[in-house]
Amino acid sequence: MNTSAILPGATIGILGGGQLGRMTAMAARSMGYDVHVLDPDPMCAARAVATQTLTAPFNDAEAAARLARACDVITLEIEQISRASLEAAAEFAPVHPGADAVYIIQDRLRQKRWLSDNNFPVGAFREADSADALAAIVAEFGPSIAKACHGGYDGRGQARLSDANAAVDAWKSLGQQPCLVEQRIDIAVELSVLVARRANGEHVVYPPSRNHHTDGILTWSVTPAELPASVLRSAEELAPAIAKALGIVGLLAVELFLTTDGQLLVNELAPRPHNTYHHTERASATSQFEQLVRAVCNLPLGDPRVIAPGAIVNLLGDVWLHDTQPDIEFALGVPASRLHLYGKAGARPGRKMGHLSAVGDSSQEALSRVLACYRRLSPASALAAGLSGPPPQLRAADGALSVELAAVDRGNAAPWRGPEDNDTDREDVG
Ligand code: ATP
Ligand code: MG
């Protein structure tokens, strides 16, 4: 393998030109790289930052090859790139992360099976290949979530079932295709952890983020997560172990559930920048976008430490669809706040249009500020998201963790303790 660095002046190709591609392109441009992008939408968010935008579907292998011919390295911002496209691009430039890892991750069922087969902790799941099979699984599991194998994101491509009677409608809503069925998990806290990894196996792990979702879509995220040390440790060990097993070069985000009985379970993986690490542009010594550039260009990885607690709240299309338009001027009066807009034309419900960020002296201050900013921007959206009242408290008034989390910290529950095999060479990285 060629291990020399790809230096500024070179061209980075990004498969996908959404907001993640746009913010990666901005980081790359700051460092002096040129950027080309491939996306099916000629008006994609990254177009304003890339010198060339190729308009083609993600399964157009010939177009992926054309992108790669003009670039020194290829990365991606979305996992729904066909294997044929990744392989065609790899004929002309290194593709990071590679086709094998992306292929495992891009199908939700294949990904869950891989995690389970490799002894990473996941909740109960099955494959359903008919409405009857789905009904039988839900009869066994109780409340469940059926997820389409391909193409779902931000809660789309999912059906929540409270009992087996819902199976026929759910099966239809998911396009009558084989799907992943998960037992509904009693979640105490959602968190995520991000690892960056170079071709030589060197890696850095970002401190976990604590995340809040509404109707399957991320609402806010804060770092540091302020969770029990045992949970943080487990999360910080899990992510590089998964990245190593997948052979990831670039970024891997691991979404995790901490269950009410104290287990740490993997929800899903993303081999790219992640919405729950957008605060790294403000909060961290190295943003996730710069880190991706460093990792795929084989440069020394940046320091992932938090330099100021930070938080974000997502701005969905809904913000622009109320009678009252967003009040940007009023919102930006909140100290240490920033507006990030992705340059997307056309606000639609649930479409990610941008985010707000804030930093503070503590995670609580950063979160309170960003939510205050959101309430000023769009009181109607804040109300709809249940965020119009006082901000959620990350800790009780006396500074203690909540009851469930305190139980975890006392060691009453056993989060992940490492792979069962004798993975002795884990220290070779990092
Ligand atoms: P995103 O793109 O925002 O990450 P997604 O469409 O990829 O979302 P998931 O991450 O699978 O979908 O699920 C979205 C959210 O739905 C989770 O963050 C969690 O809040 C909830 N959820 C998903 N699976 C389960 C489960 N098995 N039990 C309980 N809640 C779940
Ligand atoms: Mg998710």
The 8-class DSSP code of residue 338 comes to E
Return the residue whose CA atom lies nearest to atom 15 of ligand 1.
216
Atom of ligand 1 nearest to the CA of 270: 4
d(CA 341, CA 359): 18
d(CA 115, CA 238): 11
* Residues flanking ion ligand 2, Cβ below 5 Å: 255
Whether the CB of 258 sits within 6 Å of ligand 1: no
Which residue's structure tokens are 């990004």?
14
pTM score: 0.94
C-alpha gyration radius of the chain:
21
d(CA 101, CA 122): 18
Q: Are 366 and 287 contained in the same domain?
A: yes
Query: Would you call 199 exposed, middle or buried from its count of C-beta atoms within 10 A (0-12, 13-18, 19+)?
Result: middle
Q: Are 405 and 316 contained in the same domain?
A: yes
Q: Are 231 and 282 contained in the same domain?
A: yes
Whether the CB of 265 sits within 6 Å of ligand 1: no
Return the residue whose CA atom lies nearest to atom 19 of ligand 1.
216
Distance from the CA of 146 to the center of ligand 2, in angstroms?
14
* Alpha helices (H) along 40-166: 61-69, 83-90, 99-106, 108-117, 131-141
CB 169 within 8 A of CB 134: no
Q: Is residue 207 part of a domain?
A: yes
d(CA 183, CA 61): 37
Whether the CB of 233 sits within 6 Å of ligand 1: no
For residue 159, what are the domain limits? 124-183
Whether the CB of 387 sits within 6 Å of ligand 1: no
Return the residue whose CA atom lies nearest to atom 9 of ligand 1.
155
Distance from the CA of 77 to the center of ligand 2, in angstroms?
15
Whether the CB of 190 sits within 6 Å of ligand 1: yes
Q: How many domains is the chain built from? A: 3
Q: Is residue 108 part of a domain?
A: no
Q: What are phi and psi of 70, to 5 degrees?
A: -95, 5
Q: Which of 76, 95, 114 is the last residue of a domain?
A: 95
Contacts of 109-116 with C-beta under 8 Å, sequence gap 24+, read 109/149, 109/178, 109/179, 109/180, 110/149, 111/268, 111/269, 112/180, 112/182, 115/242, 115/266, 115/269
Q: Which helix (H) or strand (E) holds 293?
A: helix 288-296
3-state DSSP percent of the chain in helix, strand and coil, to 5: 35, 25, 40
Q: Are 232 and 356 contained in the same domain?
A: yes
Would you give per-residue pLDDT tens digits along the chain (430 residues)?
557 999 999 999 999 999 999 999 999 999 999 999 999 999 999 999 999 999 999 999 999 999 999 999 999 999 999 999 999 999 999 999 999 999 999 999 999 999 999 999 999 999 999 999 999 999 999 999 999 999 777 778 999 999 999 999 999 999 999 999 999 999 999 999 999 999 999 999 999 999 999 988 999 999 999 999 999 999 999 999 999 999 999 999 999 999 999 999 999 999 999 999 999 999 999 999 999 999 999 999 999 999 999 999 999 999 999 999 999 999 999 999 999 999 998 999 999 999 999 999 999 999 999 999 999 999 999 999 999 988 988 987 777 766 556 666 665 555 666 665 444 443 433 3
Helices and strands in the chain, H and E counts:
14, 17
d(CA 352, CA 356): 12
Q: Are 255 and 164 contained in the same domain?
A: no
Return the residue whose CA atom lies nearest to atom 8 of ligand 1.
154
Distance from the CA of 89 to the center of ligand 1, in angstroms?
31
Whether the CB of 105 sits within 6 Å of ligand 1: no
Return the residue whose CA atom lies nearest to atom 3 of ligand 1.
154
Q: Are 170 and 194 contained in the same domain?
A: no
Instruction: Indicate which CATH number applies to the domain containing 356.
Output: 3.30.470.20
Q: Are 255 and 384 contained in the same domain?
A: yes
Q: What are phi and psi of 310, to 5 degrees?
A: -140, 155
From the CA of 126, which ligand is nearest? 1
Whether the CB of 154 sits within 6 Å of ligand 1: yes
Q: Are 165 and 194 contained in the same domain?
A: no
